């Protein structure tokens, strides 16, 4: 049914999405062809009954034949329809799952800036919600639309055989009807995109507020949260009203076109019949065929929201697929094996149009050294660490690892050679083991136990590493979560380690116990340790003091400690707890 | 539904009656719309009679009448849908509002148990209200279908009783089939929802942890795990949808089967000419719509089953066991021009003289053969007005749990012992320990994507924004931002640095000058100078402070320092001074 055709852009988007499963879709089309031709026979049989009755000489037995055939075909159609549904659903789900995983992989590969500006709730909606819309479209709509199209073709063929003028008239009518429906449809699509954006915003807001539930409860923020929700909900309401109005305008046009078709069939038949060109049975056949167009169309209208959502979703999926990471991955140089040196030359960084976070940073750290980065929060320590991991590219200057500019290293090699324990701890739904290995099944249980023990979580190991984390079963304190996140590093063999406030949530006693394990870890590797608590750094080789995006001081720890005029000494004197 | 108070029907009814006007108008207009095909059938039959009589002019007149009828049908559905969509969204808004309210309200009778994973809960917010609204939607269809069916049956019965009667045989088969598959629909739907939640929950976790995964070079195994969950969901999804769609296909194919049965039964009357072509046309047109009622009945039953599951999911997020709170009416402005509701409920301030915690015990229930874990054992604590109390102790010793239990936030644990404010026991601590009485700053605070100022003020009329920013040492950072307090901080505050996030959250806790301020470890947010200044400022402001800290600067200023060790709270031994 070309009336339901998406615009060229949407079809191209869809074609790209389903390219991988082309064969299954062809098989589906074949089954649909058989399914579409069966219903054509019904009205032909009714025509036979009417013409027999009109002849005035028919017996009951004459009518029973076509009536029985009608019933048999009607029942067979039912079974075929169920089969078609099954095939269409399986096919659509295969496509949908492939797309979900491809998109998830793609989104994970995008840069930090992308994740900073898109909440997980919004991304769930775009990866899962949008793909579900596309999948519903494929399973519910495309099959129906294709069989409707085949049905129209079949009708044209049958009518042409009966009387070529009827066939021609019907074909012209079907084309006009399709054109009218297609023209109105696109206007409705724009409204759907707005509606889905309103939904995404609302769900994103809900997800954030659920995550912040404890903060909000303990600060009596309930009424405020509810007011913000109502604002979002009102936008959703307004957007869906607009989108529904656009839909109904489209639907009305299609219905009118159809009924005009029936009216023409009736008026035309009256004229043809009077001219003796057709029988009364053929008149009823025409009316039946015209009415048969309405049913698949109303099915499609029932699912119109699915079409609308899918059209919007296809565009959005395409947009997401087209979003490229700001970090080009086209390097091919490899620094020498072993510990990596770090060198910053005139390094500067700022977000978008924001103020500079790092300015003209020049820093040289030889391979194998352990260096503490200290300074006030917001001074640029974390940003520098992120640049070393290439979570973002510097806006000025250059950063070299092992003498190779960081952009020239393939990202895969960079990620495997440089490891970072970030400030934020993220756990996933799964067992203790799965959270340490991040679902890597090839890591042995022994290694996991060893890593957890080194990270000071012997107590957790004792309870079993296959226990599920979170929820009612096993909840960890913020400090334990951080230790667990830290344990991941013992499963790897990096050449450069960055600890970004990795022990900030851990009390000094526990940190003290970790000390030897960390010292062993940094052996033979370069390590950058960002810390607030200066006691964390009591055995590093060098100290770098950063403030206001600049390097204030860089030197040997022991000599800075001994120098009464050094910034580091001053900080030590203030940070009373670092005195031992 | 019987034996399950209040049942799905009753809950859905309450939800539908929250804003009844759009729903009733929608129902009326839908019913008119559904009855229009009777006119269409009569007009088509009239036209065929004219054609048979070879009266072309009369036939063309009927053709025009047909178009007029259709226009009437379109007008009724246009307004019907506009009213109904409003009702449909309002119903969903009500359910979502009730769930969200239960998740963020500070204690009281409406407070629900916090969700374990926001990602998992999101699908309950997204899909379950829609299922219930769709159930109510099916009532409209059934009402309209019923009205049409009665009129059509009377009309057709007046033409041929036997032919009309046999139509109901296939109709009965469809209804019976739906009934038989009822339980299966429910089970398939539940399993599918579970698989969906498992997938979206994992997807949400993965997206939140995108950086962590990147840093650990763990794309491949994480995506493989997602793939497994997606495959499981495909299996349950296909099964669920094929069953539902098949039932619908069968119900809609009813018309053809019914016409076949009718032709067979009426073969005699047709051959004899007792049943005319025009009569047959009326049967054909009306049969096309008679399938509607059984189809909609089937859909209503299926949707009821889905609603049972949906209401059960939503029930978990609200207070109470029976789900009544999902349907609780509330004031929902639907137009932004409506006045903003009073954002901060007037909670009278009760100046703190003394807070006494006695015999506080917290334990987590036994799971999977693991023993019941007692995290805090018999903690006693007395805070005097204006005093400064520090709790210290190793990771996992129960410090945070202790704070949460005092504040009534330990929702998953069993809590024993009492907390008394000025000598009076606090019954609902979750409700009581929020501003202006108390404020809490978690160790890892969560901000939301709003302006920085909104995150601190949280809609409160008496919040002291500037003072709070100054006190929490973030005022200088804010002043340096081009948009100042109007700076949008991005999802979860990602546009701020980790330290800024924590200091903004500190300002949030301070903004309403709570009598008691409870702070979990601040040391990752503040440098020593600032921390010292903060303690001094709090002391000057006369705010009573209970905090977790490991810093000597805190110990020095503290009126008492307590140490947690393996769940026991005791005065700090001097030997730990050296850390």
Q: Residue B370 — pLDDT band, cuts 50, 70, 90?
A: low
User: B393: which chain A residues are within 8 Å (Cβ-Cβ)?
Assistant: 507
Phi, psi of B391, deg, nearest 5: -115, 135
User: B533: which chain A residues are within 8 Å (Cβ-Cβ)?
Assistant: none
Name the token pair of A334.
């490899």
pLDDT at B257: 87
CB contact under 8 A, B54 and A270: yes
pLDDT at A178: 73
- Highest mean pLDDT (candidates A178-187, A212-221, B1-10): A212-221
SS3 B363: strand
CB contact under 8 A, B219 and A108: yes
CA torsion sign for B405, B408, B410, B412 is: positive
Looking at domain A3-322, its CATH superfamily turns out to be ABC transporter type 1, transmembrane domain (1.20.1560.10)
CB contact under 8 A, A93 and B237: yes
**Which helix (H) or strand (E) covers residue B362, if one does?**
strand B354-364
Task: Tell me which residue in A122, A269, A456 faces B51 most closely, judged by beta carbons.
Answer: A269
Report how far residue A116's alpha carbon sits from residue A129's, in angstroms, rounded to the nearest whole number: 21
Report how far residue B398's alpha carbon sits from residue B395's, in angstroms, rounded to the nearest whole number: 8
pLDDT of B579 > 50? The answer is no
Contacts of A111 (CB under 8 A, 6+ apart): A325, A326, A327, A391, A392
Phi, psi of A361, deg, nearest 5: -85, 120
**Longest pairwise C-alpha distance within chain A:** 123
Could you give the count of Cα atoms lying within 13 Å of B102 in the half-sphere of its Cβ?
26
Contacts of B258 (CB under 8 A, 6+ apart): B166, B167, B169, B170, B171, B287, B290, B291
Name the token pair of A178.
């399709």
| CA nearest to A514 within chain B | B395
CB contact under 8 A, B443 and A478: yes
CB contact under 8 A, B448 and A74: no
How many A×B Cβ pairs under 8 Å? 560
3-state secondary structure B84-120: HHHHHHHHHHHHHHHHHHHHHCCCCCCCCCCCCCHHH
CA torsion sign for A538, A539, A542, A546 is: negative
CB contact under 8 A, B215 and A105: no
Q: Span B393-421, mean pLDDT? A: 89
Name the token pair of B135.
């159930």
Report how far residue A43's alpha carbon sits from residue A158's, in angstroms, rounded to the nearest whole number: 11
Q: Indicate the pTM of the whole model.
A: 0.73
CB A5 within 8 A of CB A11: yes
**How many percent of chain B have pLDDT more than 90?**
45
pLDDT at A26: 84
Report how far residue A535's alpha carbon sits from residue A578's, in angstroms, rounded to the nearest whole number: 5
Q: Of A540, A541, A529, A538, which is closest to residue A502 (Cα–Cα)?
A: A529
Instruction: Give the residue from A89, A220, A293 with the most B CB atoms within 10 Å of its CB, the best one to mutate.
Output: A220
Instruction: Give the residue from B62, B124, B141, B207 with the most A CB atoms within 10 Å of its CB, the best one to mutate.
Output: B207
**Which helix (H) or strand (E) covers residue B66, if one does?**
helix B56-104
**How many percent of chain A have pLDDT more than 90?**
22
CB contact under 8 A, A287 and B44: yes
pLDDT of A470 > 80? The answer is no
CB contact under 8 A, B492 and A124: no
Q: Residue A8 — pLDDT band, cuts 50, 70, 90?
A: low
Work out the minimum CA distance from A397 to partner chain B, whole angstroms: 22
Task: Render B146-204 in DSSP notation, one character per residue.
Answer: HHHHHHHHHHHHHH-HHHHHHHHHHHHHHHHHHHHTHHHHHHHHHHHHHHHHHHHHHHH
Q: Residue A472 — pLDDT band, cuts 50, 70, 90?
A: low
pLDDT of B262 > 70? The answer is yes
Q: Span A269-294, mean pLDDT? A: 85
Higher per-residue pLDDT: B159 or A579: B159
Q: Of A416, A369, A426, which is closest to residue A557 (Cα–Cα)?
A: A369
Task: Tell me which residue in A46, A77, A506 faces B253 most closely, judged by beta carbons.
Answer: A77
pLDDT at A148: 82
Q: Looking at the DSSP assignment, which residues form a beta bridge with residue A496?
A: A418, A526
User: A260: which chain B residues are within 8 Å (Cβ-Cβ)?
Assistant: 67
Q: Mean pLDDT lowest for which of A479-488, B76-85, B516-525, B567-576?
A: B567-576
- Highest mean pLDDT (candidates A189-193, B171-175, B489-493, B509-513): B509-513
CB A360 within 8 A of CB A550: yes
pLDDT at A320: 87
| CA nearest to A207 within chain B | B118
pLDDT of B1 > 60? The answer is no
Q: Of A366, A373, A372, A414, which is closest to residue A390 (Cα–Cα)?
A: A414
Strands B414-421 vs B354-364: parallel, antiparallel or unpaired: antiparallel
CB A154 within 8 A of CB A285: no
User: B111: which chain A residues are within 8 Å (Cβ-Cβ)?
Assistant: 217
Task: Render B385-420 in DSSP notation, one character per residue.
Answer: TT-EEEEE--TTSSHHHHHHHHHT--TTSEEEEEEE
Looking at domain A342-427+476-579, its CATH superfamily turns out to be P-loop containing nucleotide triphosphate hydrolases (3.40.50.300)
Chain centroid offset of residue A16 CA:
16
pLDDT at A299: 65
Q: Of B299, B242, B131, B195, which is closest to residue A139 (Cα–Cα)?
A: B242
pLDDT tens-digit map of A316-367: 888 888 888 888 888 888 898 889 999 999 999 987 767 788 999 999 999 9
CB contact under 8 A, B370 and A81: no
pLDDT at B559: 92
- Number of helices followed by number of strands (H, E) in chain A: 21, 10
CB B256 within 8 A of CB A81: no
SS3 A84: helix
Name the token pair of A514.
């970790």
Chain centroid offset of residue A247 CA:
26
Q: Residue B460 — pLDDT band, cuts 50, 70, 90?
A: confident
CB contact under 8 A, A212 and B97: no
Q: Which residue has the tokens 């299954």?
A: A24
Work out the minimum CA distance from A117 to partner chain B, whole angstroms: 6
Instruction: Provide the residue ranges of all domains of chain A, joining segments of one domain with +.
Output: 3-322, 342-427+476-579
Q: What is the mean pLDDT of chain A?
A: 84
User: A391: which chain B residues are within 8 Å (Cβ-Cβ)?
Assistant: 211, 214-215
CB contact under 8 A, A220 and B344: yes
Q: Residue B336 — pLDDT band, cuts 50, 70, 90?
A: low
Cβ atoms within 10 Å, residue A435? 26
Could you give the count of Cα atoms lying within 13 Å of A174 in the half-sphere of its Cβ?
26
Task: Tell me which residue in A125, A217, A483 faces B106 most closely, judged by beta carbons.
Answer: A217
Work out the minimum CA distance from A424 to partner chain B, whole angstroms: 8
pLDDT at A61: 86
CB A490 within 8 A of CB A483: no
Task: Render A395-409 in DSSP notation, one character per residue.
Answer: SEEEEEETTEEGGGS
Chain centroid offset of residue B141 CA:
26
SS3 B427: coil
E strand spans, B201-348 = none
Strands A542-547 vs A526-530: parallel, antiparallel or unpaired: unpaired
Instruction: Give the residue from A21, A124, A287, A382 with the most B CB atoms within 10 Å of its CB, the best one to mutate.
Output: A124
CB contact under 8 A, A505 and B250: no
Higher per-residue pLDDT: B204 or B396: B204
Higher per-residue pLDDT: B27 or B395: B27
Instruction: Give the residue from A42, A82, A120 with the most B CB atoms within 10 Å of its CB, the best one to mutate.
Output: A120
Q: Residue B27 — pLDDT band, cuts 50, 70, 90?
A: very high
Q: Mean pLDDT lowest for which of B286-295, B317-326, B484-493?
A: B286-295
pLDDT tens-digit map of B51-65: 888 898 999 999 999
Higher per-residue pLDDT: A301 or A247: A247
3-state secondary structure A207-240: HHHHHCHHHHHHCCCHHHHHHHHHHHHHHHHHHH
pLDDT at B518: 95
**Which helix (H) or strand (E) covers residue B424, if one does?**
strand B424-425
User: B61: which chain A residues are within 8 Å (Cβ-Cβ)?
Assistant: none
CB B577 within 8 A of CB B563: no
Q: Of A349, A40, A125, which is closest to residue B491 (Cα–Cα)?
A: A125
pLDDT at A10: 67
pLDDT tens-digit map of A511-546: 887 888 888 888 889 999 998 777 778 889 999 999
Could you give the count of Cα atoms lying within 13 Å of B223 in the half-sphere of its Cβ?
19
pLDDT at B271: 85
Contacts of B267 (CB under 8 A, 6+ apart): A60, A63, A64, A67
Q: Residue A3 — pLDDT band, cuts 50, 70, 90?
A: very low
CB B392 within 8 A of CB A507: yes
CB A426 within 8 A of CB B212: yes
pLDDT tens-digit map of A83-135: 888 888 888 888 889 989 999 999 988 887 788 788 888 888 888 888 888 88
- Highest mean pLDDT (candidates A183-192, B273-282, B376-385): B376-385
pLDDT at B576: 45
Higher per-residue pLDDT: B344 or B251: B251
SS3 B507: helix
| CA nearest to B317 within chain A | A210
pLDDT tens-digit map of A385-415: 989 989 888 999 999 999 999 999 998 889 8
Task: Tell me which residue in B116, B253, B435 faces A74 most closely, judged by beta carbons.
Answer: B253
Work out the minimum CA distance from A162 to partner chain B, whole angstroms: 19
Cβ atoms within 10 Å, residue B354? 14
Name the token pair of B69.
């009828």
pLDDT tens-digit map of B179-225: 788 788 889 988 998 999 899 889 988 988 888 888 888 889 999 99
pLDDT of A252 > 50? The answer is yes
Instruction: Give the residue from B26, B87, B100 with the most A CB atoms within 10 Å of its CB, the best one to mutate.
Output: B100
Q: Mean pLDDT lowest for which of A6-10, B19-23, B184-188?
A: A6-10
pLDDT at A9: 65
Higher per-residue pLDDT: B346 or B503: B503
Using alpha carbons, list the distances in angstroms from residue A346 to A400, A550, B152, B393.
11, 10, 85, 43
pLDDT tens-digit map of A408-450: 999 888 988 998 888 788 888 888 999 999 999 899 999 999 9
Work out the minimum CA distance from A5 to partner chain B, whole angstroms: 23
- Quote the DSSP letter at residue A328: -
């Amino acid at each position: 049914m070309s009336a339901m055709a998406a615009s060229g852009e949407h079809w191209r988007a869809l074609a790209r999405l389903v390219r991988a499963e082309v064969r299954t879709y062809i098989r589906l089309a074949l089954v649909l062809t058989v399914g579409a031709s069966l219903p054509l026979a019904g009205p032909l049989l009714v025509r036979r009954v009417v013409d027999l009755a009109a002849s005035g000489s028919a017996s009951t037995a004459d009518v029973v034949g076509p009536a029985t055939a009608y019933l048999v075909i009607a029942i067979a159609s039912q079974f075929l329809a169920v089969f078609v549904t099954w095939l269409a659903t399986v096919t659509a789900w295969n496509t949908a799952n492939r797309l979900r995983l491809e998109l998830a992989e793609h989104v994970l590969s995008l840069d930090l800036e992308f994740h900073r500006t898109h909440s997980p709730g919004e991304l769930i909606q775009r990866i899962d919600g949008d793909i579900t819309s596309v999948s519903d479209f494929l399973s519910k709509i495309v099959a129906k639309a294709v069989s409707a199209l085949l049905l129209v073709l079949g009708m044209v063929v049958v009518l042409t055989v009966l009387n070529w003028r009827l066939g021609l008239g019907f074909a012209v009518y079907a084309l006009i009807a399709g054109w009218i429906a297609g023209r109105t449809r696109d206007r409705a699509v724009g409204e759907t995109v707005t509606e889905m954006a309103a939904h995404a915003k609302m769900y994103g807001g809900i997800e954030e507020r659920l995550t912040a539930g404890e903060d909000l409860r303990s600060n009596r923020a309930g009424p405020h949260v509810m007011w913000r929700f109502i604002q979002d909900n009102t936008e959703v309401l307004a957007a869906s009203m607009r989108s529904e109005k656009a839909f109904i305008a489209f639907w009305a046009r299609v219905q009118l076109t159809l009924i005009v078709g029936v009216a023409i069939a009736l008026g035309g038949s009256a004229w043809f019949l009077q001219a003796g060109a057709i029988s009364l049975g053929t008149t009823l056949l025409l009316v039946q065929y015209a009415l048969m167009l309405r049913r698949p169309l109303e099915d499609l209208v029932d699912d119109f929201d699915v079409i609308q959502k899918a059209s919007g979703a296809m565009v959005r999926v395409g947009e997401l697929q087209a979003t490229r990471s700001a970090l080009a991955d086209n390097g091919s140089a490899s620094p020498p094996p072993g510990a990596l040196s770090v060198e910053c030359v005139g390094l500067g960084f700022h977000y978008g149009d924001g103020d500079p976070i790092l300015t003209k940073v020049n820093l040289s750290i030889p391979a194998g050294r352990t260096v503490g980065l200290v300074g006030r929060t917001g001074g640029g320590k974390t940003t520098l660490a992120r640049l070393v991991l290439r979570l973002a590219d510097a806006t000025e200057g250059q950063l070299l690892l092992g003498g190779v500019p960081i952009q020239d290293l393939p990202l895969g090699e960079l990620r495997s050679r440089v490891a970072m324990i970030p400030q934020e701890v993220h756990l996933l739904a799964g067992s203790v083991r799965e959270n340490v290995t991040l679902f890597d099944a090839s890591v042995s249980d022994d290694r996991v136990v060893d890593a957890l023990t080194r990270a000071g979580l012997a107590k957790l190991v004792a309870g079993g590493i296959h226990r599920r984390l979170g929820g009612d079963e096993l909840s960890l304190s913020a400090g334990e979560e951080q230790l667990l996140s830290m344990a991941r590093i013992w499963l790897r063999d990096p050449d450069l380690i960055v600890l970004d406030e990795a022990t900030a949530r851990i009390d000094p006693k526990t940190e003290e116990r970790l000390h030897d394990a960390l010292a062993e870890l940094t052996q033979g590797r370069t390590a950058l340790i960002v810390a607030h608590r200066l006691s964390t750094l009591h055995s590093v080789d060098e100290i770098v003091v950063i403030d206001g995006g600049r390097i204030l001081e860089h030197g040997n720890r022991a000599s800075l400690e001994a120098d009464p005029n050094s910034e580091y000494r001053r900080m030590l004197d203030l940070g009373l707890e670092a005195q031992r | 539904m019987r034996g399950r108070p209040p049942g799905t029907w009753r809950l859905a009814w309450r939800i539908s009656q929250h804003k009844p006007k759009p729903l009733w108008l929608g129902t009326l207009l839908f019913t008119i719309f559904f009855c229009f095909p009777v006119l269409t059938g009569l007009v088509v039959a009239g036209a065929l009679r004219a054609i048979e009589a070879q009266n072309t002019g009369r036939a063309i007149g009927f053709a025009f009448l047909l178009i007029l009828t259709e226009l009437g049908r379109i007008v009724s559905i246009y307004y019907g849908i506009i009213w109904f969509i409003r009702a449909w969204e309002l119903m969903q808004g009500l359910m979502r509002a009730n769930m969200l309210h239960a998740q963020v309200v500070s204690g009281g009778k409406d407070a629900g148990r916090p969700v374990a994973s926001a990602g998992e809960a999101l699908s309950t917010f997204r899909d379950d209200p829609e299922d219930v609204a769709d159930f109510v939607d099916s009532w409209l269809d059934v009402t309209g279908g019923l009205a049409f069916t009665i009129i059509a049956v009377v009309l057709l019965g007046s033409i041929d009783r036997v032919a009309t009667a046999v139509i109901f045989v296939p109709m009965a088969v469809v209804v019976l089939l739906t009934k038989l598959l009822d339980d299966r629909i429910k089970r398939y739907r539940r399993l599918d929802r579970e698989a969906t939640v498992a997938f979206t929950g994992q997807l949400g976790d993965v997206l939140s942890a995108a950086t962590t995964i990147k840093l650990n070079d763990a794309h491949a195994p994480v995506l493989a795990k997602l793939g497994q969950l997606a495959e499981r969901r495909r299996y349950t999804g296909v099964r669920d949808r094929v069953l539902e769609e098949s039932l619908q296909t069968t119900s809609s194919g009813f018309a053809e089967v019914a016409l076949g049965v009718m032709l067979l039964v009426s073969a005699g009357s047709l051959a004899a000419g007792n049943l005319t072509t025009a009569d047959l046309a009326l049967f054909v047109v009306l049969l096309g719509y008679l399938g509607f009622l059984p189809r909609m009945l089937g859909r209503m039953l299926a949707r009821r089953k889905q609603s049972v599951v949906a209401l059960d999911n939503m029930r978990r997020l609200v207070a109470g066991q029976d789900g009544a709170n999902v349907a609780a009416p509330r004031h929902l402005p639907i137009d932004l021009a409506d006045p903003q509701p009073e954002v901060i409920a007037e909670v009278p301030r009760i100046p703190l003289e003394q807070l006494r915690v006695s015999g506080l015990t917290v334990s987590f229930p036994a799971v999977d053969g693991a023993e019941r874990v007692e995290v805090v054992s018999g903690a006693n604590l007395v805070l005097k007005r204006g005093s400064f109390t520090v709790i210290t102790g190793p990771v996992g010793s129960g410090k945070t749990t202790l704070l949460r239990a005092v504040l009534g936030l330990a929702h998953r644990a069993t809590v024993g012992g009492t907390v008394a404010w000025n000598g009076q026991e606090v019954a609902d601590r979750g409700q009581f320990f929020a501003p202006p009485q108390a404020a809490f700053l978690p160790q890892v605070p969560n901000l939301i994507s709003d302006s920085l100022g909104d995150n601190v003020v949280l809609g409160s009329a008496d919040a002291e924004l500037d003072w709070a920013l100054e006190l929490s040492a973030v005022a200088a950072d804010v002043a340096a931002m081009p948009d100042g307090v109007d700076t949008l901080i991005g999802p979860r505050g990602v546009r701020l640095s980790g330290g800024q996030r924590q200091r903004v959250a500190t300002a949030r806790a301070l903004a309403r000058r709570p009598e008691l301020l409870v702070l979990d470890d601040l040391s990752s947010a503040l440098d020593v100078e600032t921390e010292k200044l903060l303690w001094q400022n709090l002391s000057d402001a006369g705010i009573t402070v209970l905090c977790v800290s490991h810093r000597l600067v805190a110990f020095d200023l503290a009126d008492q320092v307590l140490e947690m060790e393996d769940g026991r709270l005791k005065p700090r031994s001097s030997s730990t001074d050296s850390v």
